[in-house]
Homo-oligomer: A and B are copies of this chain.
Amino acid sequence: MLQLGEIDRADPRPPYRQIAAMLREAIESGGLEPGAKLPSEAALMEHFGVARMTARQAIQELRGEGLVIAEHGRGVFVRPMPPVRRLASDRFARAHRAAGKAAFLAEADKAGYQPGVDRIRVARAGAPKGIAERLRVEAETEVIVRERRYLANGRPVEIATSYLPVPVAGGTPVEDVDPGPGGIYARLEDAGHTLERFTEEVGARMPTPDERNALEIGPGVPVLTVVRTAFDTEGAAVEVCDTVKAAPAYLLEYDFPAR
Chain A interface bracket (under 10, 10 to 19, 20 to 34, 35 or more) = 35 or more
**A196: chain B residues within 8 A (beta carbon):** 257-258
CB contact between A94 and one of B21, B250, B259 (< 8 Å): that residue: B259
Inter-chain contact A93/B259, CB cutoff 8 Å: yes
Inter-chain contact B222/A222, CB cutoff 8 Å: yes
In the assembled complex, the CB of A210 is this many whole angstroms from the nearest CB of chain B, namely 12
* Bound complex: CA A66 to CA B223 (Å): 13
* Bound complex: CA A200 to CA B60 (Å): 34
CB contact between A254 and one of B200, B250, B258 (< 8 Å): that residue: B200
A220 within 8 A of B: yes
Copies in the assembly, this chain: 2
**A247: chain B residues within 8 A (beta carbon):** 203-205, 222
A120 within 8 A of B: no
* Bound complex: CA A152 to CA B29 (Å): 34
Within 8 A of B (CB), among A151-176: none
A253 within 8 A of B: yes
Which chain B residue shows the least CB distance to A222?
A: B222
Within 8 A of B (CB), among A214-259: 219-224, 230, 247-248, 250-259
Q: What are 11 A-B pairs at a CB distance below 8 A?
A: A89-B254, A90-B259, A197-B258, A198-B255, A199-B254, A202-B224, A202-B251, A202-B252, A203-B252, A204-B222, A230-B258
